Amino acid sequence: MSFAPLRALRELFHSLCLRASVVKSIDTLATTTTMNRHIHLALIQHPCGADRAANIATTEAAIREAAAKGAQLILLQELHTSLYFCQQEGAATFDLAEPIPGPTTGHFARLAAELDVVIVASLFERRAAGVCHNTAVVLDRQQGLVGQYRKMHIPDDPGFYEKYYFTPGDAAPGFEPIDTSVGRLGVLVCWDQWFPEAARLMALAGAEILLYPTAIGWDDNDDTDEQARQREAWITVQRGHAIANGIPLAACNRTGFEADPGAQGRGIRFWGSSFVAGPQGEILSRGPQDAAEIILATVDMARTEQVRRVWPYLRDRRIDAYGDLLKRYRD
């Protein structure tokens, strides 16, 4: 009697079992990798002064401390190398603008490489004579400058005369995430945080987390109830972006009082309160209103998958019915 068919069957069975084992191992590895993917995030909140070198030194010291505590992704506040100069209009202020790449990106790129971290910084960019932007840059470990985002929504209100200084971003598409070693970052800037369209477009392009360098504060003449409403509105609208898109979000604001250098206005008291929210809007960490602090949070990136399975907003969008969103107003 020949045992060849039995041997062949046994070899086939062994081969199938081995293959199933390999597939199971790959699936397990993929699941484990996804489930164990966390980002250790730090927000650097502090007052700023008129001395650029001192501001940079303060920021650098905080970045070093955050990295020593395990931060992998470090978000800085808006225009962190200077006072918030948009309280008045002045042609001489354009001297603060610098090219990209330039001194600030070079400094923080070297720091990111040394500390093996990803830094999201913010600066006044000089693109050309008479064309400047409010720009966030991403510096990724040894890779250096891997992307930038030029602020799209530009305010023009008492104490926030940004239209005088900043040309709106004109990249196509305008809201494009930046790929880094820690994930795909949806980087926006300050006034952008009030517009759900910007957050949604970043999410639709695959952003895994929304990041907002910020400079926002109160007029001291507002009563405490009005101040509380403004601050809570700022926090609430951004928590809404996290919820509506099922992704985490971080906003880093400056703190301290800055007088109007032209003495025309009453100055701004920046309300700090930098925070990190999860994909259901839950607050993971928040800083104080009136003090410098390194706000640390560990973000579980797997929660986006879990949350979107239960709350599938992207699935149920009626994209066939949203044409009028391209209008200024439905008259």
Q: List the catalytic residue out of 78, 125, 162, 208.
A: 78
Residue 97 lies in a domain: yes
- Residue 262's pLDDT is what? 80
Residue 300 lies in a domain: yes
In whole angstroms, what is the distance from residue 256 CA to residue 234 CA?
17
Say which DSSP state 50 is in: S
Number of structural domains the chain divides into = 1
CATH code of the domain containing 303: 3.60.110.10
**121-154 confidence digits (pLDDT tens):** 999 999 999 999 999 999 999 999 999 999 999 9
Nearest to 168 by CA among 214, 133, 208: 133
Q: List the catalytic residue out of 86, 132, 151, 252.
A: 151
Range of the structural domain that residue 267 is part of? 37-312
Query: CB–CB of 124/132 below 8 Å?
Result: yes
Residue 74 lies in a domain: yes
176 labelled catalytic: no
Residue 12 lies in a domain: no
Residue 325 lies in a domain: no
Q: Is the dihedral of CA 53, 73, 155, 271 positive or negative?
A: negative
- Residue 130's pLDDT is what? 96
What is the chain's pLDDT, residue by residue, as a tens digit (331 residues)?
454 555 555 555 455 444 444 334 333 333 434 456 999 999 999 999 999 999 999 999 999 999 999 999 999 999 999 999 999 999 999 999 999 999 999 999 999 999 999 999 999 999 999 999 999 999 999 999 999 999 999 999 999 999 999 999 999 988 999 999 999 999 999 999 999 999 999 999 999 999 999 999 999 999 999 999 999 999 999 999 999 999 999 999 999 999 998 877 889 999 999 999 999 999 999 999 999 999 999 999 999 999 999 999 999 999 999 999 999 999 9
Q: List the catalytic residue out of 48, 86, 132, 190.
A: 190
- Residue 11's pLDDT is what? 59
Three-state DSSP at 135 gives strand
DSSP E strands: which ranges in the chain?
A: 38-45, 73-76, 118-128, 131-140, 144-150, 156-157, 160-161, 178-180, 183-187, 209-214, 217-218, 249-253, 255-258, 268-271, 275-277, 283-286, 293-300
Residue 184 lies in a domain: yes
- Residue 140's pLDDT is what? 98
In whole angstroms, what is the distance from residue 147 CA to residue 91 CA?
29
Residue 329 lies in a domain: no
Query: CB–CB of 187/134 below 8 Å?
Result: no
Residue 42 falls in which region: left (phi positive, over 0), alpha (psi -120 to 50) or beta: beta
78 labelled catalytic: yes
Residue 327 lies in a domain: no
- Residue 2's pLDDT is what? 52
Three-state DSSP at 270 gives strand
- Residue 197's pLDDT is what? 97
151 labelled catalytic: yes
